[in-house]
Amino acid sequence: MDTSVTRGAQRPSALVEWLLVVAMAVVARLPGIFLGPALLGLAVLGLAVAGGDPDALVVPLTYAAIVVLGTAADRDRGSLPGRAVRPADEPELAALVGDVAERLGFRAPLLVRVVPEPEAALGPVKLSGVRGCVLLLGLPLLRSMTAAQLAAVVAHELAHEQHVRDRRTVWLRRTRDALAERLGGRFRPPAALAVPLLRASRPSLWEAEFAADADSARIAGAAATGRALELAGLLGAVFDGLGERWLSELEEDGARPQDFYDAFGAALRDPFVLSRGARAAAEEDAFDPYVAAGRPPTAQRVAALPDGGGAGPYGTEPVVLRDAQAIEQWCVEELAGDTGSGRGAGRAGDGVGLRPVRILDPDTGPLLRPDDGAVELLLGATRRKSPVPALSDALDAVADGSWPDLASGIEPGLRRVPAPERRYASRAVLARAAGETLAAVLRDSGWTYAGRWSSTVLAAPDGTAVDLHEMLVAALDSGDPAPVRALVRSAGKERTEA
């Protein structure tokens, strides 16, 4: 990813940014056949306003373009997301948020709501006709972060709002988000036009992130801020890679997890889960083929934090939640779809009929269910009848560089994935299929599960644990399948000796 934007980058002029707003709105919404005349019109517009007041001439046209093209940000006019947290019910959390707001000089009325996912966000809301803000805090953050780290997260969200409240930055962010979202859809605008606009509009938004991080470090300390940034990425990656799978597999069995967050916390103590999550978080940070990321990479943000900074009156333990059980139950029901709304509604309808189970109970089976379908797909793509020859063919493809073609044979839909994203997606498909196949071969040779969080983390007869999926990812990245071949040979030797 292009990381040329650093702390202190100069913001483009008002004229340039307003023109970027209009250009992104046009490129995001008009079919390719109209882009030539539209961009010609933009050039004429630029000449017309070059000698005038940008805010006087460009702003009205910008508003008109956004209204006509429909790129204004959609606002949920229904119920607010999350579960309300009243200060009287959660005084410790309310005190932390209030202290951070006071130290930042944040004066707007503020609601706090808990959401099930590991995220934090601040958005506008009307309170009895008065404009205020709603702060969303994910339950995984509340459970996993120290009070100081949580204060850093809250400080960043509140400070960020102060840095991007001017109307030019608001529209710049909205139209940029709309264009980036279109690039992920089926009917995409031409990347050759979208990417330069996204790159040109990035400095202002990234500079706002750096500034909010600096304010966060001033409030909570640089160490707590840096760790909060890293932990947020890790929690998100593990939630997406592991938590989502639990929910999906349990739903297939007609169940929902009562102890989702206890299990999530237990998984985060597993070194293999942490290692896989850290890699996934770093790759998500780095993978930005369209220069669409609204935030700098985490490592760059941590490196830019100012030295020192006060730690504030915050502790090294998580904030106490007085009504933790009720909050967790609400979040689990939301994830499983029992409320009939939000994220879970698309997963399990209204959730009626899902029996409650505990993930941490030994007899909860889906967590280590081998993905036999992935093995069958590799057998079909290699036209082999047994796993060892199919795996050998896959490793040959890794060695000679033809593995993207094999991945397309496993998942034909990869051919429709845009070129900048295809290699990354192909790697995921082949690593999954080859990893499950390798695991099947090793289990037949006496290897056993090394934990209960992944069917591809196995223990050898001597007790040595190996993450086979990560081994395959490393082989695909390096083009060297030798370590995997050695493992297959050792498995064959073990079978012979047995």
- Residue 356 has phi, psi (to 5 degrees) of -75, 135
More confident residue, 62 or 482: 482
Residues ≥6 apart with Cβ < 8 Å to 401: 479
The average pLDDT across 311-326 equals 89
- CB-based contacts of 421-424 (< 8 A; 24+ apart in sequence): 421/289, 424/283, 424/287
User: How high is the pLDDT of residue 428?
Assistant: 95
What are 459's strand-pairing partners?
448, 465
Q: Among 212, 190, 202, which Cα is nearest to 293's? A: 202
Rounded to an integer, what distance in angstroms lies between the CA atom of residue 28 and that of residue 345? 29
Measure CA 355 to chain center.
29
Rounded to an integer, what distance in angstroms lies between the CA atom of residue 455 and that of residue 449? 7
Report residue 42's pLDDT band, with 50, 70 and 90 as the boundaries: low
- Do 367 and 452 touch, CB atoms closer than 8 A? yes
Report residue 342's pLDDT band, with 50, 70 and 90 as the boundaries: very low
User: How high is the pLDDT of residue 339?
Assistant: 41
Report residue 494's pLDDT band, with 50, 70 and 90 as the boundaries: low
- Do 21 and 175 touch, CB atoms closer than 8 A? yes
User: How high is the pLDDT of residue 347?
Assistant: 44
Rounded to an integer, what distance in angstroms lies between the CA atom of residue 161 and that of residue 392? 54
What are 120's strand-pairing partners?
137
Report residue 14's pLDDT band, with 50, 70 and 90 as the boundaries: confident
DSSP one-letter code for 318: P
User: How high is the pLDDT of residue 489?
Assistant: 87
User: How high is the pLDDT of residue 343?
Assistant: 44
The average pLDDT across 44-61 equals 49
Q: Is the pLDDT of residue 159 over 60?
A: yes
Please state, as a whole number, how many other Cβ atoms lie within 10 Å of the Cβ of residue 139: 26
Q: Is the pLDDT of residue 36 over 80?
A: no
Report residue 34's pLDDT band, with 50, 70 and 90 as the boundaries: low
User: How high is the pLDDT of residue 368?
Assistant: 65
Pairing outcome for strands 110-115 and 130-138: parallel
The winner for highest mean pLDDT among 29-38, 48-57, 343-352 is 29-38
Distances (CA, A) of 391 to 325, 424, 436, 437, 439: 47, 20, 10, 7, 11
In what helix (H) or strand (E) does residue 224 lie, and over which residues does it extend? helix 222-238
User: How high is the pLDDT of residue 191?
Assistant: 87
Residue pLDDT, tens place only, 425-453:
999 999 999 999 999 999 999 999 998 89
- Residue 350 has phi, psi (to 5 degrees) of -95, 5
Q: Among 453, 474, 264, which Cα is nearest to 368's? A: 453
- Residue 491 amino acid letter: A
Q: Among 83, 452, 116, which Cα is nearest to 256's? A: 116
Q: Among 286, 299, 245, which Cα is nearest to 267's? A: 245
Report residue 349's pLDDT band, with 50, 70 and 90 as the boundaries: very low
The average pLDDT across 476-495 equals 85
User: How high is the pLDDT of residue 310?
Assistant: 60
User: How high is the pLDDT of residue 79?
Assistant: 77
What percent helix, strand, coil does the chain show, rounded to 5? 60, 10, 30
- The fraction of the chain above a pLDDT of 90, given in percent, is 57
Rounded to an integer, what distance in angstroms lies between the CA atom of residue 154 and that of residue 30? 38
Rounded to an integer, what distance in angstroms lies between the CA atom of residue 161 and that of residue 247? 33
HSE of 207, CA atoms in CB hemisphere, 13 A:
13
Residues ≥6 apart with Cβ < 8 Å to 216: 152, 153, 155, 156, 159, 225, 228
In what helix (H) or strand (E) does residue 114 lie, and over which residues does it extend? strand 110-115
CB burial of residue 84 (10 Å; 0-12, 13-18, 19+)? exposed
Residue pLDDT, tens place only, 100-152:
999 999 999 999 999 999 999 999 998 778 889 999 999 999 999 999 999 99
Sign of CA dihedral 34, 40, 42, 45: negative
Residue pLDDT, tens place only, 260-315:
999 999 999 999 999 999 999 999 999 998 999 989 999 999 999 998 656 667 98
User: How high is the pLDDT of residue 419?
Assistant: 83
Q: Is the pLDDT of residue 74 over 60?
A: no
- Residue 247 amino acid letter: L
Q: Is the pLDDT of residue 65 over 90?
A: no
**Average pLDDT of the chain?**
84
CB burial of residue 36 (10 Å; 0-12, 13-18, 19+)? exposed
Q: Which residue has the tokens 């056949």?
A: 33
User: How high is the pLDDT of residue 433?
Assistant: 96
Q: What is the pTM of this model?
A: 0.85
Q: Among 296, 305, 280, which Cα is nearest to 227's? A: 305
Residues ≥6 apart with Cβ < 8 Å to 342: 81, 334
Kindly give the residue spans of alpha helices, DSSP state H, lying in 32-77: 32-49, 54-69
Q: Among 262, 323, 317, which Cα is nearest to 84's? A: 323
